[in-house]
Amino acid sequence: MKAKLMEAMQRFSKAMFIPVLILPIAGILIALGNLLTNPKLLETVPLMNNPVTTGFGSILAGSLVSILGNLGLIFCVGITVGLARKEKPVAGFTALLGYLVFVHAMNKFMELSGRLVEAESLQGTGQTLVLGVQILDMGVFLGIILGIVTAFIHNRWIDTEFKGAFQIYGGSRFVFILLIPTVVLLAGVLMYIWPFFQSGIHSLGTLIQRSGSFGIFLYGALERLLIPTGLHHLVYTPFLYTSLGGVAEVGGQIYEGARNIYYAEIANPGVTRLSESVIWDARGISKMFGLIGACLAMYHTAKPENKAKAKAVLLPAAFTSFIAGVTEPIEFSFMFVAPLLFAVHAVFSGLSMVVLNLLDVRAIGPNGMIDFLLYNLPLGIQKTGWPLYVLVGLLFFVIYYVVFRFLIVKFNFQTIGREEKGQEVRLYSKKDYQEKKKRNREEGQASKETSDVAGVIVRALGGAENIQTVTNCYTRLRLTLVHPEKVDETVLKNETGASGVIIRDQNVQVVYGLQVTNIRKAVDRYLGRAGQE
């Protein structure tokens, strides 16, 4: 039961990546639109103050904010596609149809039972407009529920075929036939029970928010601690896109979730100060500053003969974390060889968010310096207080450096550059891999092309017959294996450039960093599963 539960959570976490990774693009474009209409910028650069530039900025920000009002639909389709084992495009289209059926079915149920509220504003009534249809306000949970239900029906019956005159109703058509009564019945049931969930979610959100600094610390620490399991997305997603992260009225509309509120506020020129809910999205201190201090500590504590190697490995990893917020290559370099350092890192991550909240800082940098510059500078100091964010970051840079250096020396942790003779504890960069290819050619071995690397990966995972599913997230190749004990971690790290391998029951994650998408595609082609999970 534990293994099945973990596998289900892993699959759901992977599926959440589809909508979650797309939404920040909308946020960046909203920030760009806000920049093009920023009064201070227009005063400083008069050339920008023209109808074309400001008009484009207004259209860009105004049109993309509409995405925030349809997150239920986005999550419904995204999760269905992520959970579908085959024919993913068909699954996504079916999810869209099911979503439309559900919305109108619930509206009719509420109309017939006299539950529709007649008011100029639906704020505080527990009801809202979804695609112009009045139903219970389920927020992003509606998309999550329908995505799971649709994916289950799709996976269970997509291969169903009939003979004779009924064969036209097989496959995806049969899935939709089953989905219609399911979502209609679900709409009727949720009409009665969802108000209780609404009350529970509201109470939980209130409890967390009233927990003050402790709640913020727990959130920030857990988000890091769950990285080895791959379930950390399940911690921050509810806060970013549901009422757990706050509820606010912006420009006459109600928004739920820290990220949604933030996007709405930065696009609204009438907002002079961002609300405190954005603190749930202020996870960038450890990424942009803290781990850089940790890297410097590992470099300074490396053995003299290994300094050059440590620098070559840590410098690109630190740069990627600072610029793009990709931290796993650094974290995996000490996560298993020095778990205490990882625990300290999680504590500092939570504390940094507490400090930002105490100082009333509203700046964010969830994905590194690029996000920080795009989101905060155009808004100005009054709206975000971004200079204090930088000062707090520099403070934690020093704290990370001092504490990591002390602990590494005190406990003689085998971090980068401190490995014993004959033992390698390192990140494998692209340069390392290219040098290995050169050595292979010199020894008369065939050059390792991408497909060959995929073959090495598959063999290190126990062979094609041992691999049930293959997916990927932002930095990890995620697999379900029949016999996980067959995994050869040494080959994965030394010959394919993996910086970490995590095995939890039948779920295996191999960390490759930003090149993971190309690696996943190569593995799919090698297995003959291109286009499938």
State the Cα–Cα distance between residues 135 and 475, nearest whole angstrom. Answer: 38
Of residues 25 and 80, more confidence is placed in: 80
State the Cα–Cα distance between residues 514 and 518, nearest whole angstrom. Answer: 9
77: which 2 tokens? 């389709």
Residue type, 121: S
Catalytically annotated residues: 473
Please classify residue 368 by burial: count the beta carbons closer than 10 Å to its beta carbon, then call 0-12 exposed, 13-18 middle and 19+ buried: buried
Reference 182, options 217, 148, 213, 227; nearest CA is 148
Beta-sheet strand order (sheet of 500-504)? 467-472, 476-481, 507-511, 500-504
CA-to-CA dists, residue 80 to 5, 159, 237, 529, angstroms: 19, 17, 17, 19
Q: Which residues contact 335 (CB under 8 A, 6 or more apart)?
A: 227, 228, 341, 342, 500
pTM here? 0.61
- With 90 as the cut, is the pLDDT of residue 112 above it? yes
pLDDT-derived band at 62 (thresholds 50, 70, 90) equals confident
pLDDT-derived band at 445 (thresholds 50, 70, 90) equals very low
Q: Are 491 and 460 in contact (CB under 8 A)?
A: yes
pLDDT-derived band at 457 (thresholds 50, 70, 90) equals very high
Q: How far apart are the first and last CA of the chain?
A: 23
pLDDT-derived band at 354 (thresholds 50, 70, 90) equals very high
503's enclosing H/E stretch is strand 500-504
pLDDT at 446: 35
- With 80 as the cut, is the pLDDT of residue 419 above it? no
Mean pLDDT, rounded, for 87-94:
93
pLDDT tens digits, residue range 316-343?
A: 888 888 887 777 778 877 877 788 999 9
Mean pLDDT, rounded, for 341-364:
91
Reference 278, options 149, 381, 173, 366; nearest CA is 366
Of residues 344 and 366, more confidence is placed in: 344
pLDDT at 24: 67
> Beta strand pairing status for 133-136 and 127-130?
antiparallel
Weakest-pLDDT range from 40-44, 51-55, 351-355: 40-44
- With 80 as the cut, is the pLDDT of residue 75 above it? yes
pLDDT at 103: 96
* Percent of all residues in the chain with a pLDDT value above 70, rounded to a whole number: 85
State the Cα–Cα distance between residues 43 and 325, nearest whole angstrom. Answer: 32
Weakest-pLDDT range from 7-11, 164-168, 462-466, 482-486: 7-11
> Beta strand pairing status for 253-256 and 247-250?
antiparallel
**What is the sign of the dihedral through the CA atoms of 355, 358, 363 and 366?**
positive
Percent helix, strand and coil across the chain, each rounded to 5? 70, 5, 25
- With 70 as the cut, is the pLDDT of residue 205 above it? no
State the Cα–Cα distance between residues 215 and 140, nearest whole angstrom. Answer: 22
Give Dmax over CA atoms of the chain in angstroms: 80
